[in-house]
Amino acid sequence: MIRGTTPTIELELLNLKIDDIKSAYVTIKQGDVEITKELDGGIQVDRENNILRVKLTQKETLRFCKKPVKVQLRAVLNNDTVVASDIFTREMEDVLLGGEIL
């Protein structure tokens, strides 16, 4: 990912189906900076491919600095079981021209 851009993070669900999820939260974290998107607002659902997508804004990515960010999905299933994905890391790269441009 690159600061000041609008990346989309894709989470392919391998061990569960989107229709089994009651609520879901995707958290992107770096130090004290934490952004969480919820299923009913910030997460796009691709049922056909069993993928959740989270789009970040320029303002959100500019909150991070040039070092790795951690990403994790937590979800409540229809049977009230709570699950979490492994935490994965993505590099956050910098831009030369700072600030929002749109």
CATH code of the domain in which 73 resides = 2.60.40
Q: Residue 1: inside a domain, yes or no?
A: no
Which pairing describes strands 33-38 and 43-46: parallel, antiparallel, or unpaired?
unpaired
Q: Residue 99: inside a domain, yes or no?
A: no
Model pLDDT, residue 40: 85
Render pLDDT for 34-83 as a digit per residue (tens, 0 to 9). 999 999 889 999 999 999 999 999 999 999 999 999 999 999 999 999 99
- Closest to 29 in 3D by CA, of 4, 60, 8: 60
Residue 102: pLDDT over 90:
no
Residue range(s) defining the domain that contains residue 51: 8-90
Which pairing describes strands 8-12 and 51-55: parallel, antiparallel, or unpaired?
antiparallel
Q: Residue 98: inside a domain, yes or no?
A: no
**How many domains would you assign to the chain?**
1
Q: How far apart are CA 65 and CA 69, in angstroms?
A: 9
Render pLDDT for 6-37 as a digit per residue (tens, 0 to 9). 999 999 999 999 999 999 999 999 999 999 99
pTM of the model: 0.94
